[in-house]
Amino acid sequence: DVKVTQSSRYLVKRTGEKVFLECVQDMDHENMFWYRQDPGLGLRLIYFSYDVKMKEKGDIPEGYSVSREKKERFSLILESASTNQTSMYLCASSLEWTAGAFFGQGTRLTVV
Amino acid sequence: AQSVTQLDSQVPVFEEAPVELRCNYSSSVSVYLFWYVQYPNQGLQLLLKYLSGSTLVESINGFEAEFNKSQTSFHLRKPSVHISDTAEYFCAVKETSGSRLTFGEGTQLTVNP
């Protein structure tokens, strides 16, 4: 089974802190994604990556950056956390689209 | 740019009743379409997908969805729901030539006894 692992299930950070969310997949997938999930808004794409060191902005990239130095790892960085970044963050990966995308369990981030 | 609209944010139904969750998409090119399900306190799981071929696709637990190109829709249906189908359902679209996967706002299906 494909496994997408996010480093933390719950995280509490202070306003202004730099926050790192880590995601690792074990199936050599080319594509990796970061979404945030908010009630009533569904999943909104923050950034995605289709290869090592390659990234593209999604629909809501402001206030975030990403890093993909190795194929299996895709990191989401909140440069200076703000309370409006309190959310559930979901990482996903995919290889062949015949199989769809596989999701991690999510990280619930609270910024206080 | 591609987009997805799920027309109902909440759908309450009684057990054993039929249900339809509506999804419309927008794209100027050919697409792949997906339905994902999120059970309470769990991650998203792929429920079913349309890639090509037959426009009617089915899942192992009795859901089906039909791709309608002229209406740009991919509605999800089940003829008889169970309490255990209570979950949030997300429709998603990906253009066949790209890597971006776009989701709708989600539909909360609540099955009551």
- Kindly tell me if the per-residue pLDDT of B97 is higher than 90: no
Q: What confidence score (pLDDT) does residue B95 get?
A: 87
- pLDDT at residue A95, as a whole number: 81
Between chains, do A97 and B100 touch, taking CB under 8 Å as contact? no
Token pair recorded at residue A21? 């969310």
pLDDT tens digits along A69-101: 999 999 999 999 999 999 999 999 988 666 688
Residue A14 one-letter amino acid: R
Best residue in B30, B46, B100 for a mutation probing chain A (most A CBs within 10 Å): B100
Determine how β-strand A73-78 pairs with β-strand A19-25: antiparallel
| Mean pLDDT taken over chain A | 93
Q: Is the CB of A60 inside 8 Å of chain B's CB atoms?
A: no
DSSP 8-state secondary structure symbol assigned to residue B59: -
Beta-carbon separation of A103 and B43 below 8 A: yes
Contact A4, A92 (CB under 8 A): yes
**pLDDT value at A2 more than 80:** no
Q: What is the pLDDT of residue B64?
A: 97
